[in-house]
Structure 1
Amino acid sequence: MRVEELLNSHYEAFSENEKYVCHYLRNHYADCVKKTIDDFAASCNVSKTLLVRFAKKLGLTGYSELKARVKLEMQEPEGDVKGLLKTMTDSYHKMMDDLNQKDLSSFFEKLYHARRVFVFGSGSSQARAASEMKRIFLPAREIIHLHGHDMCYALLKSAAPEDLVIIISLSGESDTVVELAKALRMNRVPLVSITRLTSNSLASVCEENLYINSVRLPVKYHIEYESSTPYFILIEYLYLSYQNYLSGKKEEIKRE
Protein backbone atom coordinates (compact mmCIF):
# COMPACT_ATOMS: atom_id res chain seq x y z
CA MET A 1 0.00 0.00 0.00
CA ARG A 2 1.31 3.44 -0.91
CA VAL A 3 2.07 6.09 1.72
CA GLU A 4 -0.91 8.27 0.74
CA GLU A 5 -3.22 5.27 1.09
CA LEU A 6 -1.72 4.40 4.47
CA LEU A 7 -2.32 7.96 5.66
CA ASN A 8 -5.95 7.88 4.53
CA SER A 9 -6.72 4.42 5.88
CA HIS A 10 -5.31 5.15 9.36
CA TYR A 11 -6.35 8.80 9.62
CA GLU A 12 -9.33 8.32 11.93
CA ALA A 13 -7.17 6.40 14.43
CA PHE A 14 -4.64 9.26 14.73
CA SER A 15 -4.48 11.57 17.73
CA GLU A 16 -4.77 15.31 17.03
CA ASN A 17 -0.96 15.64 17.06
CA GLU A 18 -0.62 12.70 14.71
CA LYS A 19 -3.21 14.24 12.37
CA TYR A 20 -1.07 17.38 12.33
CA VAL A 21 1.98 15.28 11.36
CA CYS A 22 -0.14 13.65 8.63
CA HIS A 23 -1.03 17.04 7.13
CA TYR A 24 2.58 18.24 7.39
CA LEU A 25 3.99 15.10 5.80
CA ARG A 26 1.60 15.29 2.84
CA ASN A 27 2.95 18.73 1.99
CA HIS A 28 6.62 17.99 2.75
CA TYR A 29 7.47 14.59 1.27
CA ALA A 30 10.75 15.97 -0.13
CA ASP A 31 11.79 17.18 3.33
CA CYS A 32 11.02 13.76 4.81
CA VAL A 33 13.40 12.15 2.30
CA LYS A 34 16.21 14.65 2.93
CA LYS A 35 16.02 15.13 6.68
CA THR A 36 16.96 13.02 9.67
CA ILE A 37 14.30 12.18 12.23
CA ASP A 38 15.66 14.96 14.50
CA ASP A 39 15.44 17.57 11.74
CA PHE A 40 12.03 16.49 10.48
CA ALA A 41 10.63 16.41 14.03
CA ALA A 42 11.94 19.94 14.58
CA SER A 43 10.40 21.09 11.27
CA CYS A 44 6.92 20.03 12.30
CA ASN A 45 7.38 20.91 15.98
CA VAL A 46 6.85 17.43 17.42
CA SER A 47 9.03 14.96 19.28
CA LYS A 48 10.99 12.08 17.75
CA THR A 49 8.92 9.71 19.86
CA LEU A 50 5.73 11.01 18.26
CA LEU A 51 7.18 10.52 14.76
CA VAL A 52 8.13 6.93 15.56
CA ARG A 53 4.68 6.24 17.04
CA PHE A 54 3.08 7.84 13.96
CA ALA A 55 5.06 5.58 11.60
CA LYS A 56 4.20 2.48 13.65
CA LYS A 57 0.49 3.35 13.47
CA LEU A 58 0.91 3.15 9.69
CA GLY A 59 2.14 -0.43 10.13
CA LEU A 60 5.81 0.50 9.56
CA THR A 61 8.79 -0.26 11.77
CA GLY A 62 9.62 3.40 12.35
CA TYR A 63 10.61 6.70 10.76
CA SER A 64 13.41 5.09 8.72
CA GLU A 65 10.98 2.82 6.89
CA LEU A 66 8.55 5.72 6.35
CA LYS A 67 11.39 7.78 4.88
CA ALA A 68 12.46 4.87 2.64
CA ARG A 69 8.88 4.32 1.40
CA VAL A 70 8.44 8.01 0.55
CA LYS A 71 11.82 8.09 -1.22
CA LEU A 72 10.99 4.99 -3.26
CA GLU A 73 7.66 6.42 -4.40
CA MET A 74 9.23 9.76 -5.34
CA GLN A 75 11.73 7.91 -7.53
CA GLU A 76 9.07 6.16 -9.61
CA PRO A 77 9.66 6.56 -13.36
CA GLU A 78 8.09 9.54 -15.16
CA GLY A 79 4.85 8.75 -16.92
CA ASP A 80 4.23 5.46 -15.13
CA VAL A 81 0.47 5.89 -14.95
CA LYS A 82 -0.17 2.25 -13.99
CA GLY A 83 0.75 2.99 -10.39
CA LEU A 84 -1.50 6.02 -10.36
CA LEU A 85 -4.40 4.10 -11.90
CA LYS A 86 -4.08 1.39 -9.25
CA THR A 87 -3.90 4.01 -6.51
CA MET A 88 -7.10 5.62 -7.76
CA THR A 89 -9.06 2.39 -8.19
CA ASP A 90 -7.86 1.13 -4.81
CA SER A 91 -9.02 4.38 -3.22
CA TYR A 92 -12.48 3.89 -4.73
CA HIS A 93 -12.68 0.38 -3.29
CA LYS A 94 -11.49 1.65 0.10
CA MET A 95 -14.11 4.39 0.02
CA MET A 96 -16.88 1.87 -0.68
CA ASP A 97 -15.66 -0.36 2.16
CA ASP A 98 -15.73 2.62 4.54
CA LEU A 99 -19.23 3.62 3.41
CA ASN A 100 -20.54 0.09 3.89
CA GLN A 101 -19.34 0.22 7.50
CA LYS A 102 -20.69 3.71 8.23
CA ASP A 103 -23.98 4.19 10.06
CA LEU A 104 -25.93 6.73 7.98
CA SER A 105 -29.18 6.51 9.93
CA SER A 106 -28.71 9.87 11.69
CA PHE A 107 -28.07 11.62 8.37
CA PHE A 108 -31.09 9.96 6.75
CA GLU A 109 -33.31 10.93 9.68
CA LYS A 110 -32.35 14.58 9.19
CA LEU A 111 -32.85 14.28 5.43
CA TYR A 112 -36.27 12.67 5.88
CA HIS A 113 -37.65 15.13 8.42
CA ALA A 114 -36.20 18.37 7.01
CA ARG A 115 -38.71 20.88 5.66
CA ARG A 116 -36.25 21.87 2.93
CA VAL A 117 -32.84 20.51 1.94
CA PHE A 118 -30.15 22.81 0.55
CA VAL A 119 -26.91 21.57 -1.01
CA PHE A 120 -24.08 24.09 -1.48
CA GLY A 121 -21.00 23.44 -3.63
CA SER A 122 -18.00 25.65 -2.88
CA GLY A 123 -16.00 25.11 -6.11
CA SER A 124 -16.54 24.02 -9.70
CA SER A 125 -16.21 20.26 -9.05
CA GLN A 126 -18.22 20.60 -5.86
CA ALA A 127 -20.93 22.55 -7.70
CA ARG A 128 -21.20 19.74 -10.26
CA ALA A 129 -21.47 17.24 -7.45
CA ALA A 130 -24.19 19.35 -5.78
CA SER A 131 -26.08 19.53 -9.07
CA GLU A 132 -25.84 15.75 -9.47
CA MET A 133 -27.09 15.27 -5.92
CA LYS A 134 -30.15 17.38 -6.70
CA ARG A 135 -30.78 15.39 -9.90
CA ILE A 136 -30.32 11.88 -8.54
CA PHE A 137 -32.37 12.49 -5.37
CA LEU A 138 -35.30 14.02 -7.25
CA PRO A 139 -37.49 10.85 -7.15
CA ALA A 140 -37.07 10.63 -3.37
CA ARG A 141 -36.42 14.12 -2.05
CA GLU A 142 -36.44 17.64 -3.51
CA ILE A 143 -33.10 19.38 -3.00
CA ILE A 144 -32.32 23.06 -3.59
CA HIS A 145 -28.92 23.47 -5.25
CA LEU A 146 -26.82 26.59 -4.62
CA HIS A 147 -23.21 27.30 -5.56
CA GLY A 148 -20.73 30.15 -5.64
CA HIS A 149 -19.65 32.50 -2.86
CA ASP A 150 -22.20 35.08 -3.98
CA MET A 151 -24.97 32.70 -2.86
CA CYS A 152 -23.71 32.39 0.71
CA TYR A 153 -25.75 35.35 1.91
CA ALA A 154 -28.91 34.04 0.23
CA LEU A 155 -28.43 30.63 1.86
CA LEU A 156 -27.80 32.20 5.26
CA LYS A 157 -31.00 34.23 4.99
CA SER A 158 -33.12 31.35 3.68
CA ALA A 159 -32.12 28.34 5.80
CA ALA A 160 -33.96 27.77 9.08
CA PRO A 161 -33.67 25.29 11.97
CA GLU A 162 -36.29 23.01 10.40
CA ASP A 163 -34.21 22.75 7.19
CA LEU A 164 -31.01 20.84 6.38
CA VAL A 165 -27.91 22.25 4.68
CA ILE A 166 -25.31 20.00 3.02
CA ILE A 167 -22.01 21.75 2.22
CA ILE A 168 -19.62 20.17 -0.29
CA SER A 169 -16.02 21.36 -0.06
CA LEU A 170 -12.78 19.62 -1.03
CA SER A 171 -10.47 20.74 1.77
CA GLY A 172 -13.07 22.12 4.19
CA GLU A 173 -10.70 25.01 4.88
CA SER A 174 -12.10 27.79 2.67
CA ASP A 175 -12.61 30.83 4.90
CA THR A 176 -15.88 31.69 3.14
CA VAL A 177 -17.33 28.19 3.57
CA VAL A 178 -16.21 27.84 7.19
CA GLU A 179 -17.67 31.25 8.10
CA LEU A 180 -20.92 30.32 6.33
CA ALA A 181 -21.12 27.08 8.34
CA LYS A 182 -20.44 28.90 11.60
CA ALA A 183 -23.16 31.46 10.86
CA LEU A 184 -25.66 28.72 9.97
CA ARG A 185 -24.75 26.82 13.14
CA MET A 186 -25.38 29.99 15.16
CA ASN A 187 -28.85 30.04 13.59
CA ARG A 188 -29.33 26.39 14.73
CA VAL A 189 -29.50 25.08 11.15
CA PRO A 190 -28.57 21.36 10.92
CA LEU A 191 -25.40 20.96 8.85
CA VAL A 192 -23.74 18.11 6.95
CA SER A 193 -20.27 18.38 5.41
CA ILE A 194 -18.85 16.44 2.47
CA THR A 195 -15.06 16.85 2.28
CA ARG A 196 -11.81 15.06 1.57
CA LEU A 197 -10.88 12.47 4.21
CA THR A 198 -8.86 14.74 6.48
CA SER A 199 -9.49 16.62 9.68
CA ASN A 200 -10.79 20.04 8.62
CA SER A 201 -12.47 23.16 9.98
CA LEU A 202 -15.75 22.68 8.13
CA ALA A 203 -16.24 19.15 9.45
CA SER A 204 -15.61 20.35 13.01
CA VAL A 205 -18.52 22.82 12.70
CA CYS A 206 -21.05 20.40 11.14
CA GLU A 207 -23.17 17.85 13.01
CA GLU A 208 -22.72 15.14 10.36
CA ASN A 209 -19.58 14.48 8.31
CA LEU A 210 -19.26 12.49 5.09
CA TYR A 211 -15.89 11.94 3.41
CA ILE A 212 -14.47 11.10 0.01
CA ASN A 213 -11.12 9.44 -0.73
CA SER A 214 -9.66 12.00 -3.11
CA VAL A 215 -6.49 11.21 -5.09
CA ARG A 216 -4.28 14.01 -6.37
CA LEU A 217 -2.14 13.61 -9.49
CA PRO A 218 1.53 13.51 -8.36
CA VAL A 219 3.68 16.54 -9.13
CA LYS A 220 5.81 14.55 -11.58
CA TYR A 221 2.92 14.52 -14.10
CA HIS A 222 3.11 18.34 -14.31
CA ILE A 223 -0.68 18.66 -14.21
CA GLU A 224 -2.82 20.07 -11.38
CA TYR A 225 -5.57 17.48 -11.14
CA GLU A 226 -7.60 15.89 -8.42
CA SER A 227 -10.23 13.29 -9.24
CA SER A 228 -13.86 14.36 -8.71
CA THR A 229 -15.19 10.82 -9.27
CA PRO A 230 -15.41 10.05 -5.49
CA TYR A 231 -18.10 12.74 -5.09
CA PHE A 232 -20.34 10.94 -7.56
CA ILE A 233 -19.62 7.53 -6.03
CA LEU A 234 -20.65 8.92 -2.65
CA ILE A 235 -23.81 10.58 -3.97
CA GLU A 236 -25.01 7.45 -5.77
CA TYR A 237 -24.31 5.35 -2.68
CA LEU A 238 -26.24 7.82 -0.51
CA TYR A 239 -29.21 7.76 -2.87
CA LEU A 240 -29.43 3.97 -3.02
CA SER A 241 -28.99 3.68 0.74
CA TYR A 242 -31.65 6.34 1.29
CA GLN A 243 -34.07 4.28 -0.83
CA ASN A 244 -33.45 1.36 1.55
CA TYR A 245 -34.10 3.71 4.47
CA LEU A 246 -37.42 4.82 2.91
CA SER A 247 -38.45 1.19 2.39
CA GLY A 248 -37.84 0.58 6.08
CA LYS A 249 -39.94 3.62 6.95
CA LYS A 250 -42.83 2.30 4.86
CA GLU A 251 -42.66 -1.03 6.69
CA GLU A 252 -42.75 0.77 10.04
CA ILE A 253 -45.84 2.73 8.99
CA LYS A 254 -47.59 -0.47 7.87
CA ARG A 255 -46.93 -2.14 11.23
CA GLU A 256 -48.38 0.86 13.05
Structure 2
Amino acid sequence: MGKIIATFHNEMEQLSESEKLVLYYLDNHIDDIDALTLVKLAEATRVSTTTVIRMTHKLGLEGFSDLKYKLKQMNQSKTIAYSSFIQEYIPFLTETFDQIDPIRLKRMGNIIKQAPSIFIVSVGLTKTVGEYASQRLIQANKPAMHAYESHLIDLLPNLLKPNDVVIFISMSGETQTLIQSVKKLRFTGAQLFAFTNAADSTLSQLVHFNLSTAFPTESRSGYDITPRSPLFVLIDVLIEEYLRT
Protein backbone atom coordinates (compact mmCIF):
# COMPACT_ATOMS: atom_id res chain seq x y z
CA MET A 1 0.00 0.00 0.00
CA GLY A 2 1.46 3.33 -1.08
CA LYS A 3 1.63 6.53 0.92
CA ILE A 4 -1.37 8.17 -0.82
CA ILE A 5 -3.68 5.17 -0.40
CA ALA A 6 -2.61 4.85 3.25
CA THR A 7 -3.36 8.54 3.85
CA PHE A 8 -6.84 8.43 2.34
CA HIS A 9 -7.80 4.86 3.26
CA ASN A 10 -10.74 6.05 5.42
CA GLU A 11 -12.25 7.88 2.43
CA MET A 12 -11.74 5.03 -0.07
CA GLU A 13 -15.18 3.53 0.57
CA GLN A 14 -16.83 6.74 -0.64
CA LEU A 15 -15.06 6.70 -4.01
CA SER A 16 -16.46 5.25 -7.21
CA GLU A 17 -14.37 2.79 -9.21
CA SER A 18 -13.31 5.58 -11.60
CA GLU A 19 -12.31 7.81 -8.69
CA LYS A 20 -10.33 4.99 -7.08
CA LEU A 21 -8.52 4.49 -10.39
CA VAL A 22 -7.39 8.13 -10.30
CA LEU A 23 -6.10 7.73 -6.73
CA TYR A 24 -4.24 4.52 -7.61
CA TYR A 25 -2.65 6.31 -10.56
CA LEU A 26 -1.48 9.15 -8.34
CA ASP A 27 -0.13 6.64 -5.83
CA ASN A 28 2.08 5.15 -8.55
CA HIS A 29 3.15 8.51 -10.03
CA ILE A 30 3.71 10.73 -7.00
CA ASP A 31 7.21 11.63 -8.24
CA ASP A 32 5.62 13.22 -11.36
CA ILE A 33 3.20 15.42 -9.45
CA ASP A 34 4.98 18.70 -10.32
CA ALA A 35 4.31 18.26 -14.03
CA LEU A 36 0.79 16.92 -13.59
CA THR A 37 -2.21 19.07 -14.51
CA LEU A 38 -5.90 18.38 -14.08
CA VAL A 39 -6.31 17.74 -17.82
CA LYS A 40 -3.24 15.48 -18.02
CA LEU A 41 -4.44 13.45 -15.04
CA ALA A 42 -7.90 13.03 -16.56
CA GLU A 43 -6.39 11.95 -19.88
CA ALA A 44 -3.95 9.52 -18.25
CA THR A 45 -6.71 7.82 -16.28
CA ARG A 46 -9.34 8.11 -19.04
CA VAL A 47 -11.88 9.89 -16.86
CA SER A 48 -13.41 13.34 -17.03
CA THR A 49 -11.98 16.33 -15.20
CA THR A 50 -15.27 16.44 -13.30
CA THR A 51 -14.56 12.95 -11.95
CA VAL A 52 -11.16 14.09 -10.68
CA ILE A 53 -12.62 17.16 -8.97
CA ARG A 54 -15.45 15.13 -7.45
CA MET A 55 -12.85 12.71 -6.08
CA THR A 56 -10.91 15.55 -4.42
CA HIS A 57 -14.07 16.76 -2.70
CA LYS A 58 -14.77 13.27 -1.36
CA LEU A 59 -11.23 13.28 0.04
CA GLY A 60 -12.08 16.43 1.98
CA LEU A 61 -10.07 18.74 -0.29
CA GLU A 62 -11.09 21.92 -2.07
CA GLY A 63 -10.03 20.82 -5.55
CA PHE A 64 -7.16 19.64 -7.72
CA SER A 65 -4.80 22.42 -6.64
CA ASP A 66 -5.35 21.51 -3.00
CA LEU A 67 -4.73 17.83 -3.81
CA LYS A 68 -1.56 18.65 -5.74
CA TYR A 69 -0.23 20.74 -2.86
CA LYS A 70 -0.89 17.93 -0.37
CA LEU A 71 0.78 15.35 -2.63
CA LYS A 72 3.85 17.56 -3.08
CA GLN A 73 4.15 17.79 0.71
CA MET A 74 3.92 14.00 0.94
CA ASN A 75 6.59 13.56 -1.70
CA GLN A 76 8.91 16.02 -0.01
CA SER A 77 8.56 14.24 3.33
CA LYS A 78 9.21 10.96 1.56
CA THR A 79 12.56 12.16 0.25
CA ILE A 80 13.91 13.50 3.55
CA ALA A 81 17.31 11.97 4.30
CA TYR A 82 17.03 9.95 7.48
CA SER A 83 20.05 9.75 9.76
CA SER A 84 19.13 6.14 10.50
CA PHE A 85 16.93 3.58 8.74
CA ILE A 86 15.20 3.07 12.10
CA GLN A 87 13.75 6.57 11.83
CA GLU A 88 12.00 5.56 8.62
CA TYR A 89 9.77 3.27 10.66
CA ILE A 90 8.54 6.00 12.99
CA PRO A 91 6.03 7.84 10.72
CA PHE A 92 4.59 4.59 9.37
CA LEU A 93 4.18 3.09 12.84
CA THR A 94 2.55 6.32 13.99
CA GLU A 95 0.19 6.17 11.02
CA THR A 96 -0.61 2.54 11.78
CA PHE A 97 -1.65 3.43 15.34
CA ASP A 98 -3.61 6.45 14.12
CA GLN A 99 -5.67 4.18 11.87
CA ILE A 100 -6.89 2.06 14.78
CA ASP A 101 -10.44 2.87 15.82
CA PRO A 102 -10.54 2.43 19.63
CA ILE A 103 -14.25 1.57 19.60
CA ARG A 104 -13.84 -1.16 16.97
CA LEU A 105 -10.74 -2.45 18.77
CA LYS A 106 -12.72 -2.74 22.00
CA ARG A 107 -15.46 -4.65 20.17
CA MET A 108 -12.85 -7.04 18.77
CA GLY A 109 -11.47 -7.59 22.27
CA ASN A 110 -14.96 -8.35 23.58
CA ILE A 111 -15.65 -10.76 20.73
CA ILE A 112 -12.42 -12.66 21.45
CA LYS A 113 -13.33 -12.82 25.14
CA GLN A 114 -16.69 -14.42 24.31
CA ALA A 115 -15.33 -16.74 21.61
CA PRO A 116 -15.05 -20.47 22.46
CA SER A 117 -11.99 -20.82 20.21
CA ILE A 118 -9.75 -18.73 17.98
CA PHE A 119 -8.43 -19.97 14.63
CA ILE A 120 -5.46 -18.21 13.01
CA VAL A 121 -4.98 -18.57 9.25
CA SER A 122 -1.73 -17.45 7.65
CA VAL A 123 0.53 -18.79 4.90
CA GLY A 124 3.89 -17.94 3.34
CA LEU A 125 5.95 -15.26 5.05
CA THR A 126 3.09 -14.39 7.42
CA LYS A 127 3.06 -17.94 8.78
CA THR A 128 5.37 -16.89 11.62
CA VAL A 129 2.99 -14.05 12.51
CA GLY A 130 0.18 -16.59 12.81
CA GLU A 131 2.30 -18.86 14.99
CA TYR A 132 3.10 -15.93 17.26
CA ALA A 133 -0.58 -14.94 17.51
CA SER A 134 -1.72 -18.44 18.42
CA GLN A 135 0.99 -18.85 21.08
CA ARG A 136 0.17 -15.50 22.67
CA LEU A 137 -3.52 -16.37 22.81
CA ILE A 138 -2.76 -19.74 24.39
CA GLN A 139 -0.60 -17.96 27.00
CA ALA A 140 -3.62 -15.73 27.66
CA ASN A 141 -5.74 -18.86 28.36
CA LYS A 142 -7.68 -18.61 25.11
CA PRO A 143 -7.94 -21.82 23.04
CA ALA A 144 -6.27 -21.15 19.68
CA MET A 145 -5.22 -23.13 16.63
CA HIS A 146 -2.99 -22.05 13.75
CA ALA A 147 -4.00 -23.30 10.27
CA TYR A 148 -1.27 -22.80 7.67
CA GLU A 149 -1.61 -25.84 5.41
CA SER A 150 -4.28 -26.04 2.71
CA HIS A 151 -5.93 -29.20 4.01
CA LEU A 152 -6.33 -27.66 7.49
CA ILE A 153 -7.73 -24.45 6.02
CA ASP A 154 -10.23 -26.48 3.98
CA LEU A 155 -11.42 -28.22 7.15
CA LEU A 156 -12.30 -24.98 8.96
CA PRO A 157 -16.01 -24.93 7.98
CA ASN A 158 -16.38 -28.28 9.78
CA LEU A 159 -14.41 -27.23 12.85
CA LEU A 160 -16.07 -23.92 13.63
CA LYS A 161 -18.66 -23.45 16.34
CA PRO A 162 -20.97 -20.42 16.65
CA ASN A 163 -19.12 -17.31 17.88
CA ASP A 164 -15.67 -18.74 17.17
CA VAL A 165 -13.21 -16.19 15.74
CA VAL A 166 -11.08 -16.72 12.65
CA ILE A 167 -8.16 -14.31 12.17
CA PHE A 168 -6.70 -14.11 8.67
CA ILE A 169 -3.22 -12.63 8.27
CA SER A 170 -1.99 -11.42 4.87
CA MET A 171 0.28 -8.52 3.89
CA SER A 172 -1.38 -7.84 0.54
CA GLY A 173 -4.87 -8.92 1.53
CA GLU A 174 -5.08 -10.59 -1.87
CA THR A 175 -3.88 -14.11 -1.00
CA GLN A 176 -6.34 -16.27 -2.91
CA THR A 177 -6.21 -19.20 -0.46
CA LEU A 178 -7.37 -16.88 2.32
CA ILE A 179 -9.96 -15.07 0.19
CA GLN A 180 -11.59 -18.34 -0.84
CA SER A 181 -11.61 -19.48 2.79
CA VAL A 182 -13.28 -16.25 3.95
CA LYS A 183 -16.01 -16.66 1.33
CA LYS A 184 -16.75 -20.16 2.63
CA LEU A 185 -16.83 -19.04 6.27
CA ARG A 186 -18.93 -15.89 6.00
CA PHE A 187 -22.17 -17.71 6.78
CA THR A 188 -20.95 -20.06 9.52
CA GLY A 189 -21.73 -17.72 12.41
CA ALA A 190 -18.03 -17.20 13.14
CA GLN A 191 -16.55 -13.72 13.52
CA LEU A 192 -13.93 -13.03 10.85
CA PHE A 193 -10.96 -10.73 11.50
CA ALA A 194 -8.11 -9.76 9.17
CA PHE A 195 -4.66 -8.29 9.73
CA THR A 196 -3.25 -6.80 6.53
CA ASN A 197 -1.00 -4.10 5.13
CA ALA A 198 -3.77 -3.01 2.76
CA ALA A 199 -6.91 -1.50 4.27
CA ASP A 200 -8.61 -1.44 0.85
CA SER A 201 -7.77 -5.05 -0.09
CA THR A 202 -10.27 -7.78 -0.99
CA LEU A 203 -9.64 -9.64 2.26
CA SER A 204 -10.12 -6.49 4.33
CA GLN A 205 -13.49 -5.86 2.71
CA LEU A 206 -14.78 -9.43 3.19
CA VAL A 207 -14.20 -9.81 6.93
CA HIS A 208 -16.18 -8.32 9.80
CA PHE A 209 -13.21 -6.49 11.36
CA ASN A 210 -9.89 -5.46 9.85
CA LEU A 211 -6.71 -3.98 11.32
CA SER A 212 -4.09 -2.75 8.88
CA THR A 213 -0.55 -1.46 8.99
CA ALA A 214 0.58 1.51 6.89
CA PHE A 215 3.95 0.52 5.46
CA PRO A 216 4.73 1.19 1.77
CA THR A 217 5.10 -2.01 -0.23
CA GLU A 218 8.74 -2.63 -1.14
CA SER A 219 10.27 -5.22 -3.45
CA ARG A 220 13.81 -6.19 -4.38
CA SER A 221 14.77 -8.58 -7.18
CA GLY A 222 11.12 -9.53 -7.50
CA TYR A 223 10.68 -10.39 -3.81
CA ASP A 224 8.37 -8.58 -1.42
CA ILE A 225 10.58 -7.19 1.36
CA THR A 226 7.91 -5.10 3.09
CA PRO A 227 8.45 -5.37 6.90
CA ARG A 228 6.19 -7.88 8.63
CA SER A 229 7.08 -6.60 12.10
CA PRO A 230 4.14 -4.11 12.26
CA LEU A 231 1.73 -7.05 12.00
CA PHE A 232 3.22 -8.44 15.20
CA VAL A 233 2.53 -5.05 16.81
CA LEU A 234 -1.14 -5.21 15.77
CA ILE A 235 -1.40 -8.71 17.24
CA ASP A 236 0.00 -7.41 20.53
CA VAL A 237 -2.41 -4.46 20.52
CA LEU A 238 -5.45 -6.70 20.01
CA ILE A 239 -4.38 -9.20 22.66
CA GLU A 240 -3.66 -6.39 25.11
CA GLU A 241 -7.18 -5.09 24.49
CA TYR A 242 -8.57 -8.59 25.09
CA LEU A 243 -6.64 -8.92 28.36
CA ARG A 244 -7.95 -5.55 29.57
CA THR A 245 -11.56 -6.38 28.68
Shorter-normalised TM-score: what interval? 0.7 to 0.9
* 1:234 maps to 2:238: no
Aligned counterparts, 1:165-244, within 5 A: 165-217=166-218, 224-244=224-244
1:19 and 1:199 in contact (8 A); partners too: no
Aligned to 1:139: 139
C-alpha distance in 2 between matches for 1:23 and 1:83? 30
Amino acid paired to 1:226: T
CA apart distance, 1:12:
0.2
Amino acid paired to 1:109: N
C-alpha distance in 2 between matches for 1:106 and 1:12? 19
* 1:89 maps to 2:87: no
What secondary structure, in the 3-state scheme, does the structure 2 residue paired with 1:172 have? Answer: coil
C-alpha distance in 1 between matches for 2:155 and 2:233? 29
- Larger relative contact order, structure 1 or 2 (CA cutoff 8 Å, min sep 6): 2
Amino acid paired to 2:211: L
Q: 1:83 to 1:235 in 2, by over 3 A?
A: same
C-alpha distance in 2 between matches for 1:117 and 1:133? 10
Measured against aligned partners, the alpha-carbon deviations of 1:180-201 in whole angstroms (never above 9, x if no partner) come to 1011113333211111243122
CA apart distance, 1:9:
3.1
Q: 1:151 to 1:39 in 2, by over 3 A?
A: farther
Unpaired runs of 5+ residues, structure 2, are: none
CA apart distance, 1:177:
1.6
Amino acid paired to 2:65: T
CA RMSD in angstroms comes to 3.5
CA apart distance, 1:47:
2.9
1:33 and 1:67 in contact (8 A); partners too: no
The two structures have a TM-score, normalised by structure 1, of 0.75
Amino acid paired to 2:236: E
2:174 and 2:203 in contact (8 A); partners too: yes
C-alpha distance in 2 between matches for 1:150 and 1:71? 45
Aligned to 1:130: 130
Aligned to 1:62: 66
The two structures have a TM-score, normalised by structure 2, of 0.78
1:114 and 1:164 in contact (8 A); partners too: yes
CA apart distance, 1:86:
3.8
CA apart distance, 1:161:
3.0
* 1:16 maps to 2:15: yes
CA apart distance, 1:8:
1.7
Unpaired runs of 5+ residues, structure 1, are: 246-256
What secondary structure, in the 3-state scheme, does the structure 1 residue paired with 2:239 have? Answer: helix
Number of residue pairs the alignment of both structures matches? 238
CA apart distance, 1:90:
1.0
CA apart distance, 1:45:
3.8
C-alpha distance in 1 between matches for 2:174 and 2:31? 24
